[in-house]
Amino acid sequence: MSANSDLIHNPILLELLSWPEVKEYLTKCKGIILPIGSTEQHGPTGAIGTDAMTAKAVALEVGKRSGVLVAPTQSYGMAEHHLGFPGTISLQSSTLANVVHDILLSLARHGFERIFLINGHGGNIATVKSAFSKVYKSVESLSLPVSTRFRCKIVSWFLVPDVFREAKQLYGEFEGQHATPSEISLTLYLEPSLQKKLCKLPKPAPSGPIYDHEDFRRRYPDGRMGSDPFLANPNHGEVFLEKASMALKEELCNFLKEQ
């Protein structure tokens, strides 16, 4: 179940392989990493692609460190509460669940036994876990060869304990809950041109509940939830990427070894 040592430090992208190469990979490793994010507003200065960008970057780094195949990023998530802001593209929860189910089932049909989803958007978690329950039943009902070994796991890079602690230490209460300086820092490290968007902003609305998109827009008029993205720094982003990828590489390797 573990990754081939010859593949370590060489990120493998599913989209760049041919099918015979995937077949060969499966003789050495049954695991695959699936980045999943969202396309949604991140305040007046944050990139709309933040959640997908960060999930992909962490997934690629974990793939590089582990030698495990990385699938194309699922860039659309459950972001209906952000639809009050131009540029947000959301799937309904049921649609996302079906999309994730079909992706996972496709991978199971080919013989992948461990699917490790690296997530960049908190709003995806409950829906993705519901898709896991559904796909387990599908794999079992189809009597696929992997049925007794097939497992899926979702991890959010921003909830990695070392990342969470670092963010709180750097930003305190102004880390907030959305359009956070930690995630913006990672985007600045990945795409330096985003630095020019940053500017000082008024005090953000405090973090609170999330209901529909109209209520969200009323509670959080500029899209931020208690955060000050002006504190973001690309050097911080590099640290977050290192901490997240180190921790998740270890978690992935343990997941691959599970019986």
- Look up the domain containing 67 and give its range: 5-257
Q: Rounded CA gap, 30 and 68, in Å?
A: 9
CATH code of the domain containing 238: 3.40.50.10310
The pair of structure tokens assigned to 89 is 């593209």
Report CA Rg, the chain: 19
Provide the domain count of the chain.
1
Contacts of 245 (CB under 8 A, 6+ apart): 58, 61, 62, 65
One pLDDT digit (tens) per residue for the chain, 259 residues: 444 444 444 558 999 999 999 999 999 999 999 999 999 999 999 999 999 999 999 999 999 999 999 999 999 999 999 999 999 999 999 999 999 999 999 999 999 999 999 999 999 999 999 999 999 999 999 999 999 999 999 999 999 999 999 999 999 999 999 999 999 999 999 999 999 999 999 999 999 999 999 999 999 999 999 999 999 999 999 999 999 999 999 999 999 999 7
Q: What is the rounded CA–CA span in Å between residue 203 and residue 42?
A: 15
